[in-house]
Structures are given as structure tokens and as C-alpha cells.
Amino acid sequence: MPQKSLLSFVFASALMIAGVYSSVAHAQELLVDKVETVKAQVTEIVSQEVKNIPGTDTSHDYQQIKVKVLEGTQKDQIITVDNDYLSLKVGEVFYLRHETDAASGREMYAVTDPYRLPALYGFIALFVICVLIFGGWQGLRGLIALALSFLFIFYLLFPGILHGYSPILVSVGVASLIIVLGSYITHGLNRTTTAAVVGMVITILLTGALAYYAVHVTRLSGFASEEAVYLNFDMRGSIDFIGLLLGSILIGLLGVLYDAAISQAIAIEELHKVGPHLSRAFIFKRALRIGREHIGALVNTLAIAYVGASLPLLLLFYASTDSSFSLNLNRELFATEVIRTMIGSIGLVLAVPITSLITVLMLIKPKKNSDKAVVEKEMSAVSHIGHSH
């Protein structure tokens, strides 16, 4: 074949291959299913019966309903939907999933969730009102700090992790920022708050190091939940899920850690006001007495909160006869919660002596040459404070 003809043949083949790939890509683009989730309202219950779920002996409600679409491309249309998700009533608003098959054009509808937003907004408003009525100015400052915490989480923590930064470093940074700004906004710029902030930051760093060791020695992968698996596929494996697990442990610790540290700092400040001649060692000892009571209550609260959040899962494994307790405990799903609870509790325990020591060193300056009788009287009075907690 002459060289010119060969070049023409190669060029024509390249154009043909490019055209085929372009057509395939265009066809794939056209064959993408169209999905939209819109609000709809039930106008009529056509039928309702209880049937067994196929392949099981578990009964469930099945409905055929007529609904009015309230938004989207089919707004104001009346359609019939087979509903096997949750029982709905006439007039109830819910979210409807509308999917159009790209190949056949067939339209499918499914009930996804009831419309909960009005109730959610109502409870949020009730919470704010209660905080403002009973918390006053301090409550308002607490709400401002809470709002800033969510802003830091949504606009610093989430984007930082999704952009590929180390989840543990981002979490420690955001946690420290929440601690610093939240504390000063709520409790004011003073030495007591500063002592609590320093104590919390040190506790977060120590707890982070311990969490890092615990996660690696127990060989946790961070894929204990379905959400983690879906996120991994969605982000194409770009997220460090071990770091994400470490970050979640630290962020989850913030609430109880904040409570413990601030309480300890304020308790020491009040002890010093009651007995300004008392020694640092004595006040530190009394503060630890108060802290032990606090630790007992908060550790129990922390552990029970985790159990409550995982109650359906715990019941599932409790009712299972296919595996032993030790095997279930060894599963990553349970091991993750055990490590989360233990590390959080250890961090809470550490916060009490660390914050107490820092607060005593920063705030307490015992007066010299004090009357011994006065000091003994004040020590006797303070000895009852720890028991009143």
C-alpha cells in the first residue's frame, strides 16, 4: 500500500474510532436514569392490607394511594403509588422518589420519608426558648457558641476532610478552635476560662495520641458502618478512614470534656473565694473530690448514651444464636464502639486532674503570714463543699 494511502487509511480509522467512542459516550450520557425527590400529599387511600414480606414470615402494611405532587416537574399532578414503606394518612405530606428509566422511559415511584421538618423546627424553637428563659444572657452566649461550633464543623471540618487533609489533624484543629472560641464566648475572657481552655486542649492532645494507639493496636479500619463504605466509594478511596474514626472520637468527646473542665475550673475559683488563705495542695485535693463525683456521673452518661444510640444493633446481636458473645465483641462494629467509649471516658477522667492542676497554678496565690486560726476555720468550712456536689 502506498504511503499516502496508508496515512489516509490510518486517519480514517482514527476518525471512525473517535466517532464510535463519542457515540458510546453520548449514548451512556443519554441512558442515565432521571431521579428526583419531591414533596407530595396523600389525597386518597385506594386500598390497604397487611401482607407478608416476600421470602419472610414478617407481616407489613401495604397501601395503594393517590397523591398530589407538590413540587418538581410533575407539580399538581395526581398519581397512584404503591406504598410498602410506611403507613400514610389522607392529607399527610411526605417525600416521593420519582425515577424515570432511561432505556424504557418507565416511571417508578416510591415513598421515602414523611415530611418531618415542621416538627423538627418546632422542637428546635422550643429548645432555644427554654435556654433563653432559664439560661438568660449566659444561655444566649451558649447558643451563639453552639452555632459557631456547627459552622466550624460544616465549613472547616467537613471540607478539610473531603479535600484530602488528614482527618485527625483537621479534627484536632477544629476541636481546639471550638474549645477556645466557645469557652470565651460562653464564659467570658478571664483567667478561669483560660485555665479550663488550656486543660481541655492538653486533654484533647493526650486523648488523640491514646486514640491513635488504640485504633492501630486493635486494627480498626474505620469501615464499621455502611455509611463509611458508601462514602469510600463516593470519594473513590481518597479519605483516610482510620483518621476519620480518630476524628470522630475526639469530636464526640468535646461535649462532656467541656462540661468537666469548666466545672472544675469554676469549682476551684469558688473554693479560693471561700478560703483565700487555703494552700494550693488543699484546694487541689478538694477539687479532685468534687471532680470524682462529676466523673462518676459523666462516665455513666457517656457509656449509656452510646448504648442507647446502638440499641437496635445490640438487640440484633443479643437475639442471634449463630455466634458467641466473644465473637460479637470482637467484630469491628462492636470493637469500634468499645474503643470510642473507653477513649472518651479516659479523656474525661484525665480532664479533671489536668484542668484542676492548671487552674490551681494559674488562679491560686495563697496569702502569706495568715492567721492560723482563720485558716483552720476556713479549711473546716470548705471540707463540706465536696460532699454537697
User: CB within 8 A of 220, min separation 6: which ones?
Assistant: 242, 245, 332, 335, 336, 339
Of 110-114, 240-244, 376-380, give the lowest mean pLDDT range. Answer: 376-380
14 compared with 210, residue with greater pLDDT: 210
Where in 59-106 does DSSP place strands (E)? 59-69, 78-83, 93-100
CB 68 within 8 A of CB 78: yes
- Whether 225 and 85 map to the same domain: the answer is no
Cβ atoms < 10 Å from Cβ of 150: 10
Question: Is 18 within a domain?
Answer: no
Amino acid letter, residue 335: A
In a domain, 182, yes or no: yes
Beta strands in 200-347, from DSSP E residues, in sequence order: none
Q: Which residue in this structure is represented by grid cell 473554693?
A: 271
The domain that holds 68 is classified in CATH as 2.40.50.220
* Three-state DSSP state, 36: strand
Residue 88, pLDDT above cutoff 60: yes
The CATH number assigned to the domain holding 194 equals 1.20.1640
User: Would you say residue 16 lies in a domain?
Assistant: no
CA Rg value for the chain: 30
The share of the chain scoring above pLDDT 70, in percent, equals 84
Half-sphere exposure of 272 (CA within 13 A, CB side): 21
Asked whether residue 58 falls in the same domain as residue 170, the answer is: no
Does 83 lie in the same domain as 142?
no
Q: How confident is the model at residue 230 (pLDDT cuts 50, 70, 90)?
A: confident
Using CA atoms, how far apart are residues 125 and 332, in angstroms rounded to an integer?
38
Greater confidence (243 vs 325) lies with 243
Coil/strand/helix, residue 114: strand
* Whether 102 and 144 share a structural domain: no
Whether residues 77 and 222 fall in one domain: no
| Number of structural domains in the chain | 2
Answer yes or no: is 313 within a domain: yes
- Residue 288 amino acid letter: L
Average pLDDT rounded to a whole number, residues 371-385? 57
State the pLDDT at residue 31.
Answer: 56
**Residue where a domain stops, chosen among 80, 115, 150:** 115
Q: In terms of residue numbers, what domain contains 376?
A: 136-388
Q: Is residue 20 included in any domain, yes or no? A: no
Q: What is the pTM assigned to this prediction?
A: 0.70
Instruction: Give the tens place of pLDDT for each residue, 190-216.
Output: 999 999 999 999 998 898 889 889 988
- Are both 244 and 99 inside the same structural domain? no
Under the banding of pLDDT at 50, 70 and 90, the label for residue 386 is very low
Task: Identify the CA nearest to 97 among candidates 31, 34, 29.
Answer: 34
